[in-house]
């Protein structure tokens, strides 16, 4: 069975009730809703798929749509999860709702991996590849990592205060402690204080690769 993990809240609404806001400060993002974490007991067979950033939900919807024409492949995909939160943004005294992805450029798929379904997914629009070495069958995420990711989606705070202390700066050496790149080391290239995100250069298959991560996904390398 295919399970959807999305909400039906509109993307933008300038007539939001003021009670949804805790502050009129333009530096605050107030979360109003988030993607539902799948209610599962089996944490095996979850894979990370690298997609074009900004196309995460499109990729999910497109794969589900294409599956309608491939009945024999449907049972091989149990769930596609795109972790996101819907936040109220106040800018120039206007209130809007927008979506913010927890892991930009990546989605999670629970599936029974074989060459046929791998080919089907990797040839879908806006899909780049499964995370892992090229030329080999992708390995599923470790159970503890899946639990960690789902736990972070549940726990992540929705209020971002840009006045808070920034824990990282350019050229800091950091280690990824959660998400698809857990245990990778890298160097901070850019810090976005308002969004509490960091662009880190890590080495993937010997190539320097920039990835965008949240503050909570990193720790300093001592």
Q: Which of 161, 186, 204 is the last residue of a domain?
A: 161
Can you tell me the distance from the alpha carbon of 165 to that of 193, in angstroms, rounded to the nearest whole number? Answer: 9
CB-based contacts of 142, cutoff 8 Å, min separation 6: none
Same domain, 80 and 100: yes
Look up residue 8 and give its two tokens.
């039906």
Strand 173-176 versus strand 218-220 pairing type: antiparallel
Tokens describing residue 26: 């333009």
Q: Is 179 found in the same domain as 155?
A: no
- CA 218 from chain centre, in angstroms, equals 15
pTM over 0.85: no
| Cα-Cα-Cα-Cα dihedral sign, residues 220, 82, 29, 201 | positive
The SS3 assignment for 55 reads coil
Of 111, 135, 161, the one marking the end of a domain is 161
What is the structure's pLDDT at 5? 35
Q: What is the CATH number of the domain that holds 208?
A: 2.30.30.30
The pLDDT score that the predictor gives to residue 118 is 95
On whether both 110 and 141 belong to a single domain, the answer is yes
Beta strand segments in the chain, E: 28-34, 46-51, 77-81, 84-91, 94-101, 106-111, 127-130, 159-161, 173-176, 185-192, 197-204, 207-214, 218-220
Q: Which domain holds residue 112?
A: 1-161
Same domain, 156 and 195: no
**DSSP character at residue 217:** G
Same structural domain for residues 12 and 70? yes
Do residues 72 and 172 both lie within one domain? no
pLDDT tens for the chain, 222 residues long, are 333 333 322 223 333 233 232 333 333 344 444 556 666 667 889 999 999 999 999 999 999 999 999 999 999 999 999 988 776 666 776 667 777 888 899 999 999 999 999 999 999 999 999 998 888 889 999 888 888 787 777 666 443 444 456 788 999 999 998 888 888 999 999 998 877 789 999 998 889 999 999 887 888 887
Torsion of CA 17, 21, 26, 31, to 10 degrees: -110
Nearest CA to 102 out of 118, 122, 119, 82 is that of: 82
- Considering the domain architecture, whether residues 168 and 150 belong to the same structural domain is answered as no
């Amino acid at each position: 069975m295919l399970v959807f993990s999305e909400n039906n809240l509109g993307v933008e609404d300038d007539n939001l009730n003021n009670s949804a806001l805790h502050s009129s400060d333009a530096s605050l993002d107030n979360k109003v809703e988030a993607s539902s974490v799948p209610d599962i007991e089996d944490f095996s067979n979850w894979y990370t798929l690298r997609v074009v950033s900004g196309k995460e939900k499109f990729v999910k919807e497109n794969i589900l749509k294409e599956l309608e024409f491939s009945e024999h492949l449907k049972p091989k995909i149990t769930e596609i999860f795109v972790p996101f939160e819907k936040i109220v943004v106040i800018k120039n005294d206007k209130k809007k709702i927008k979506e913010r992805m927890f892991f930009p450029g990546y989605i999670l798929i629970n599936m029974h991996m074989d060459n046929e379904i791998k080919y089907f997914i990797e040839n879908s629009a806006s899909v780049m590849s499964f995370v892992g070495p090229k030329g080999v069958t992708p390995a599923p995420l470790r159970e503890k990592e899946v639990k960690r990711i789902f736990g972070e989606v549940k726990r992540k705070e929705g209020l971002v205060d840009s006045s808070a202390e920034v824990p990282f700066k350019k050229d800091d050496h950091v280690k990824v402690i959660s998400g698809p790149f857990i245990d990778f080391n890298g160097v901070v290239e850019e810090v976005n204080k308002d969004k509490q995100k960091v662009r880190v250069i890590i080495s993937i298959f010997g190539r320097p690769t920039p990835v965008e991560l949240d503050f909570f996904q990193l720790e300093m390398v001592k």
